[in-house]
Amino acid sequence: MTKTHALRGLYIVTPDWDDTARLLAVTEQALLGGAALVQYRHKTADMSLRRQQATALLELCRRYHKPLIINDHLDLCMEIDADGLHVGGTDISVAEARAQIGAGKILGASCYGDMQLARSAVASGASYIAFGGFYPSRIKKYAVTTSADIVTTAGKEFDLPRVVIGGMTLQNCQPLIANGAEMVAAISSVYMAENPRQAAADFCGLF
């Protein structure tokens, strides 16, 4: 799938919603607004709900010809034949994930603010590298320690899409895009927006 999808634009990440109908409705609005990529991330769901939601999201993404990435859960990614996997610092290694999912799927890696993690991810077969958090988030709790300069630094070293995440708003992501970020990952700025479709379109307009 990596070859047929442009890894550029708005990258939406799902919130921990148990209401599948609501999750699908808002995701569809974001896709209508132009979101380029969807990551299914639900930290508190049981396996049954996770499978149900991921399967429904995959069908939705197929209709809009946009890839669905599964966060963390390699088994779920393989079971439903999702378009890719995203791994963080405490998950399986990028090399192991690539070996499991094969060469054709998208593989993302969280690199936080660490260039050494980025180098390892690139060498191990990542499709994109994600940096953050840059700003305080309404969803995720982490130390806001990533410098905006890392986007520029990574661009000089790697020919791979750079994703920025962490408290992204329409305003504060613009310096990071100016530094060369190819994708902005957003959760609350889209899923909790009054008009998710317009919010997605506004982000897409920055590219």
Residues classed as catalytic: 41, 110, 140
Tokens, residue 127 = 């499709």
- Single-letter residue type at 73: H
Exposure of 39 in the CB half-sphere (CA atoms within 13 A): 29
2 three-class SS:
coil
- Of 183, 190, 136, the residue nearest 17 (C-alpha): 190
84 three-class SS:
strand
Give the C-alpha separation, 40 to 43, whole Å. 10
Tokens, residue 191 = 């899923």
- Of 154, 155, 162, 152, the residue nearest 130 (C-alpha): 162
What phi-psi label fits residue 112: left (phi over 0), alpha (psi between -120 and 50 degrees) or beta? left
Largest distance between two CA atoms of the chain: 43
What phi, psi does 40 have (nearest 5°)?
A: -90, 115
